[in-house]
Amino acid sequence: MHKILALVASLLTATATLAADPTCTSPKDKWMSQADFKAKVAAEGFKVKTFKVTKGNCYEIYGTDKAGKKVEIHYDPATATPVAFQ
């Protein structure tokens, strides 16, 4: 029984690690303004439904791409480079 509990705990820890938000390390004084960032991704064809700054200091959008497909993308706030997407 202890082996099963250890296995379950190990799997839960691995799942939580995979689901964690990425971390962005750019200093805040180098970040692109939120308005400029939103304009940039809109010019790239994304429609932003929700925008937020994550606990890991990344910009995150939920919305749709040019084809209307739902997206969730994390960006480095200084460079507007995607760091993770789903």
Distances in Å between the Cα of 72 and the Cα atoms of 4, 10, 18, 21, 30 are 34, 27, 15, 11, 23
Provide the whole-model pTM. Answer: 0.74
- What is the reported pLDDT for 13? 47
Mean model confidence pLDDT for the chain: 84
The residue ranges of every structural domain in the chain are 21-85
43-76, pLDDT tens digit by residue? 999 999 999 999 999 999 999 999 999 999 999 9
